[in-house]
Amino acid sequence: MRRLLLATALSLLPALAQAFGLEQLAAQLGKPAVVRGEFVQQKFLRALEKPLTSRGEFVLAKGHGLLWLLKTPLQQDYRIDEQGIARREAGGWQAIPQRSASAQQNRLFLAVLGGDSSGLQRDFELALQGDAQNWQLTLTPRALLLKQIFNSIRIDGGALVQRIVLDETQGDRTELLLQNSVAADALSDREQHDFTD
């Protein structure tokens, strides 16, 4: 699941500036200070007829991080920033203990959030198709460890990211739809509070 967010974040950032198309895409996605929207996450597991579906809202803020607010089937808020991942508990944000490999996944994600494209380009082949209104970016893992987990990550979008598909080697597939995304200039007070708390 983290990989999915990772893909979201990296596709929204100017980090991918590399070739002509990627540069343009990065500039386009990097423009808004804040992006708000709704998400639908569908996990297609080999053994299940229907996907595991969850919904919620997200707020991505340049320089702050990402709020991931899961609404159904259960309610849970997450926050990702430079400090790591936190989960909202009764008593406030609770940092999730970072353990070796999963902590590293998070680190890669944060490196991307921070605009560190070098790690990404080292670990993935990037391929961009389409135009500014309708593009498709495919990430194919290059590094040995990642290859054993993903087949590929595909990101579709226009002005903003619309769909992310993760193809896992184990046969599972996760689709993330980002709907009704709206770019904005500033965070609300509550969001500001969530990020700084």
Partner 1 sequence: MTSPIERRAPWAFLAFLLMLLALGAWQWRNGAPLSTDILELVPGSSRDALQKSAEQRMQEPLNRELLVLVGYPERERAIAAAARLADAWRAGALFEKVQTGVQADLPALREQLLQGRLALLGATTRERLIDDPKAFIEQRVQQLFDPFAGFGLIANQQDWLGLAAAIAQQRPASANVQLDLGSGAFFAEADGQQWALLRARTRADAFDMNAPLEAARLVAEARAQVTADGGRLVAASGLLYAAAAQQQATREITWVGGGATVGALLLLLLAFRRVRVLLAFLPVVAALLAGCVACVALFGHINVLTLMLGSSLIGVASDYPLHYLSKSWGAATWRSWDAVRATLPGLSLSLATNLIGYLALACTPFPALTQVAVFSVAGLLAAYLCSICLLPALLNGLQLRPRRSLLSLARRLLAARAALLRRTGSWPLSLLVLAFCGIGLMRLEVHNDLRQWIGGSPQLLAEAKAVAKITGVQPTSQFFLVRGDDQTQLLERQATLAARLDRLVADGSLAGYQALPQLLATAEQQQRLRQALPALAQHWQPLIDLGIPRSALDDELRQLQALPVQDINTALAGPYGEPWRSLWLGASGNQVAALVSLRGLSDATLLAAQADGLEGVCLVDRLGELNRLFAATQVSASELKLLSCLLILGLLVFPFGLKGALRVVLLPLLAALCSLASLGWLGQPLTLFSLFGLLLVTAIGVDYAILMRERVGGSGASLLGVLLSALTTWLSFGLLALSSTPAVSNFGLAVGLGLFFASLFAPWAGHAHTDTSHAAEAGE
Give yes or no for residue 114 binding partner 1 (CB under 8 A): no
Our CB check for partner 1 shows the closer of 73 and 91 to be: 73
Give Cβ neighbours of residue 161 (< 8 Å, ≥ 6 apart). 8, 11, 12, 29, 155, 178, 181
Our CB check for partner 1 shows the closer of 135 and 150 to be: 150
- From the CB of residue 135, how many other CB atoms can be counted at a distance below 10 Å? 22
Among 12, 37, 43, 139, binds partner 1 (CB under 8 A): 43
Minimal CA–CA distance to 125: which of 107, 106, 146? 146
Among 19, 95, 149, 186, binds partner 1 (CB under 8 A): 149
Min. distance of Cβ 152 from partner 1 in angstroms? 14
Distance (Å, rounded) from C-alpha 30 to C-alpha 37? 16
Give yes or no for residue 101 binding partner 1 (CB under 8 A): yes
Backbone angles phi and psi of 67, in degrees to 5: -105, 130
DSSP state of 75: -
Give yes or no for residue 95 binding partner 1 (CB under 8 A): no
Give yes or no for residue 40 binding partner 1 (CB under 8 A): no
Q: Residues 115, 14: contact at Cβ < 8 Å?
A: yes
- Residues forming contacts to partner 1 in the complex (CB under 8 A) are 1-5, 41, 43, 45-52, 54, 68, 70, 73-74, 76, 78, 80, 85, 87, 96, 98-108, 118-119, 122-123, 142-146, 148-149, 168, 170-172
